[in-house]
Structure 1
Amino acid sequence: MNASKRQERSLDPELYRRYLAALTLFHQAAADSVGLSGTDYQASNLLELDGPMASSELARRLGLSLAAGSRLADRLVEAGVARRHADSTDRRRVIIEHSGVLPGELARTLDRVREPIAAALASMSSEQLSGVAAYLAAATSAYAQSARSLSDVP
């Protein structure tokens, strides 16, 4: 495919940057609205998506020191977002798991964007949905790989 054809098929870079800015600012505001830091908010997300993990693993994945990871676990437990328990195979390790509860108004705040996005997706054809899914998979991989390389996290 020649350069002019690729350019015709690309997204407007400004539109994409505005989307990323809106996404980031929304999630920062959502975290702030319930008294979570951005790191606490993302830790909650990781625990909910990936399941229980050692507090040391959570710290590593967020690019935190072990001490900062321990304080993070304390904050998540205090906020009711997570539970802590001893690892059944190694008493020295502490496992953090999502409690299944989102603090305060967070669920309703997230629903404010989930509902219109779900409506937009429902109006798309199967081909359009496949394109969105392909983009999300590629973007997730690109951002995750880049984040790992920036923070030296495998």
Structure 2
Amino acid sequence: MSTPEEASAAYRRYLSAVMLHGHASARACDLGGTDLYALNILDLAGAMTPGELSARTGLTTGPTTRLIDRLEQAGYVRRVPSPDDRRKVIVEPVAAPAELDRVMAPARKRIGEIVGGYTDEQRAVLFDYFERAARAFREAADDLRG
């Protein structure tokens, strides 16, 4: 079993590798890292207001507006009036970068092979961890933002 220090270092290497791959994938699709991150948020959560996107990305309103402008100009999102309040705008995902699946395929294949090597019980623990850790990170980020 690893020491807490070794476990921490291994986990930090993992997080760094995930972030590095995300940035490399974004660049390969002619996007910024934050742009790809925002598209992922929209893909997972669906359409939302610019304010909600701002909160989920951690960006202030000015950079969020420029982010939406870039994504709209590239054809990945569109702004539509809110059905509840015509004064509000909703940002809807309309397309993914054409190259994204190709760019992500090698990592997805490798990760799929790793996950496929685990038993059903081990995979259940892994996915339970992913869900719980994601929630913990979101809550910690909310705490940091006040």
TM-score by length of 2: 0.88
SS at match of 1:46: helix
Which residue pairs with 1:127 in the alignment? 121
TM-score by length of 1: 0.84
- Which one-letter code corresponds to 1:108 in the other structure? R
Deviation at 1:18, TM superposition (A): 1.3
- Which one-letter code corresponds to 1:92 in the other structure? R
Provide, for residues 27-74 of structure 1, a one-character-per-residue CA deviation record: whole Å limited to 9, x for no partner. Answer: 011112222222211111110000100112111222223232222111
CA distance in 2, matches of 1:52, 1:83: 10
Which residue pairs with 2:46 in the alignment? 51
Deviation at 1:104, TM superposition (A): 3.7
Which residue pairs with 1:3 in the alignment? none
SS at match of 1:67: helix
Structure-to-structure mapping, 1:1-154, within 5 angstroms:
12-99=7-94, 101-152=95-146
SS at match of 2:96: coil
Divergent runs of 4+, >3 A: 7-11
CA distance in 1, matches of 2:31, 2:104: 14
Provide, for residues 5-26 of structure 1, a one-character-per-residue CA deviation record: whole Å limited to 9, x for no partner. Answer: xx66967322222111111100
Stretches of structure 1 that go unaligned for 5 or more consecutive residues are: 1-6
CA distance in 1, matches of 2:7, 2:64: 39
Change beyond 3 A, Cα 1:15–1:8: closer
CA distance in 2, matches of 1:12, 1:53: 37
Stretches of structure 2 that go unaligned for 5 or more consecutive residues are: none
SS at match of 2:80: strand
Q: Number of aligned residue pairs: give it.
A: 145
